[in-house]
Chains A and B, each alone.
Chain A
């Protein structure tokens, strides 16, 4: 187990370096000069030079890269270019609200998608299966934007079941009132693609020899499905789970903005609008790091479930 962990972390290093380089060059090298934007239209050349010096962008590129790497290691990304608040401070206060949305969403999404996938696999080819598949295609074809705009109108404004938007200081109140509608609407978008994928995973297992053996031994339908097929289908499901993280964070940009939810998504959108490159860069990096860690955790979870992974039988 330890050997696997070390090997897995070792493999992560090139990816990590790649992400750092990608983020750095994406926001620095290819970009225009943010000093012009920050200084405004009436700035003199001295003003601009001054701002460039303050931001540290007048130094050579390799020196900036080194500063960026030092920032990553120390966790101190300097001050936001627009609000002048330390970036690390911004993230510390914004990560909580985002997680109040994302964690329930992930748990619910996985649970609902797995249960529904089991249900449709059990009745494979039936009217229920076919109509659910047709419906899921329809549900996943609607933009998250439409869901939120219509959802806020119907459930919050007309029916008054939830507040339209907002946020309180208490976790419990957020979870029970403010986060409910965004999570449910997010669920609507994310369950359908997962359901379709999980269904094929489970159906792949149902066709295997061991399932026939289990049936031959006289195992009941539900036992075969839950004890045999599901356990094996969990392997690809857990692998996929880590890969869904970037999509969830992307969705958070839209959800948090429309619900005026003070999380990472909203701060990123605001930073983009204010040309606050420092904050956007740090946010992108942070989310990429969380995704890589998520994939690592998924793989570690997998190695518990499936010894073949740990022993490195096949890549």
Chain B
């Protein structure tokens, strides 16, 4: 990022010295402008901020008991929305709105950190494979072939039944199955970039491979990383939902949106709509937002490509 900005700035000053009137805005501002022009993405960003605030700050305003289910002994569960429970209660008597907040915290946290983990691992794997090449590349790609042949959900199931279901483990396990795509992309990018003149120049000047990778190839691949990272958050949230459905999500009374959906599988058929639609809408809003933002980021990064020519 910084390297590009510097390159951009140098180009700029070069421009301004010859034609003082024309002041091109900085690369970052141009990208920001392209992003801001995409109304859908801006709305998505606002929605995401609101949902994050709702999940993390909501419980400070709206107090509910979300940890001790025995406090509800003898009460009627599955209550319809009322003034006492704005979104009703679920089959274990927990307040649905409070449940959404707590579930949202876990879904967002797991989604974000799993994506971060997957991106870090995938980027390193792809860079090493693509830049070093040779037998290391062949070996790493064979391993990736093997992993791609086994459905991710099965690997998830195996790892979780073996290691348990804490939040940290869910993050690691989701991250471990989410890096294949970005690794392939980064490998392709590293292969195409390592032959570029500037990478060759650094090498000729005695720069070590690690320096070439981190200082020169990585910043050039930033667009793929950021865009894919954004999509990966959405994917991880959906992945966590699938696990929750299989009963391999967080353990009761902790919950996430997938687990909420799992416990309300039959709710619609019983007429308890408040146990399904609010959480389904939250899901849709969050994942859709991440996807639209990813699209817009890709367009924004294209500005840079256009400039490079």
A residues lining the B interface (CB < 8 Å): 14-15, 18-19, 22-23, 26-27, 30-32, 134, 137-138, 140-146, 149-150, 152-153, 157, 164, 243, 246-247, 249-250, 253-254, 257-258, 268-269, 272-273, 275, 280, 283-284, 287-288, 291-292, 295
Contacts and interface: CB of A to CB of B under 8 A. Distances in A.
Going nearest first, the 7 A-B pairs with the smallest beta carbon separation are A18-B146, A141-B287, A250-B153, A153-B268, A246-B151, A141-B288, A250-B151
Interface in B246-260: 246-248, 258
Interface stretch (B16-24, B83-91, B154-162, B210-218): B154-162
20 contacts: A15-B145, A18-B146, A19-B150, A134-B40, A137-B291, A137-B292, A142-B283, A143-B283, A143-B287, A145-B261, A145-B262, A150-B268, A150-B280, A250-B153, A254-B246, A258-B265, A268-B154, A284-B151, A284-B158, A292-B149
A284 B154 contact: yes
B269 interface: yes
B80 interface: no
Given A146-B280, A250-B153, A272-B246, A152 B162 contact: no
A284 B153 CA distance: 10
Interface string B202-240: 000000000000000000000000000000001000100
Contacts of B291: 137, 140-141
Contact of B258 (A134, A145, A153): A145
Given A246-B148, A272-B246, 6 more contacts: A142-B283, A143-B241, A146-B280, A153-B269, A284-B158, A291-B148
Interface in B126-171: 142-143, 145-155, 157-159, 161-162
A110 B41 CA distance: 29
A269 B154 CA distance: 10
A272 B161 contact: yes
B284 to A, nearest CB: 5
A150 B283 CA distance: 14
Nearest to B151: A246
B109 interface: no
Contacts, number: 130
Given A19-B146, A141-B287, A280-B158, A273 B247 contact: yes
Contacts of A275: 161
Contact of A269 (B151, B155, B246, B264): B246
B242 interface: yes
A249 B288 CA distance: 24
Contact of A272 (B148, B152, B157, B242): B157
Nearest to B269: A157
The number of chain B residues touching the other chain, given as a range, is 35 or more
Nearest to B159: A26
Contacts of B154: 250, 268, 280, 283-284, 287
A15 B147 CA distance: 9
B284 A142 contact: yes
Contact of B155 (A26, A142, A144): A26
Contacts of B241: 143, 145
B245 interface: yes
Interface string B281-295: 001100110111001
Contacts of A142: 280, 283-284, 287
A304 to B, nearest CB: 23
A62 to B, nearest CB: 20
Given A143-B261, A145-B242, A18 B284 contact: no
Interface of B: 40, 142-143, 145-155, 157-159, 161-162, 234, 238, 241-242, 245-248, 258, 261-262, 264-265, 268-269, 276, 280, 283-284, 287-288, 290-292, 295
A258 B264 CA distance: 12
Contacts of A288: 149-151
A287 B261 contact: no
B204 to A, nearest CB: 28
A14 B234 CA distance: 33
B251 to A, nearest CB: 15
A254 B151 CA distance: 13
B151 A32 contact: no
Given A250-B154, A254-B242, A284-B150, A138 B280 contact: no
B148 A243 contact: yes
Interface centre among B147, B154, B158, B284 (most CB of A within 10 A): B154
A31 to B, nearest CB: 5
Contacts of A145: 241-242, 245, 258, 261-262
Given A15-B142, A31-B162, A134-B40, A141 B150 contact: no
B78 to A, nearest CB: 16
A287 B157 CA distance: 14
Nearest to A137: B291
Nearest to B283: A143
Given A15-B145, A137-B295, A146 B261 contact: yes
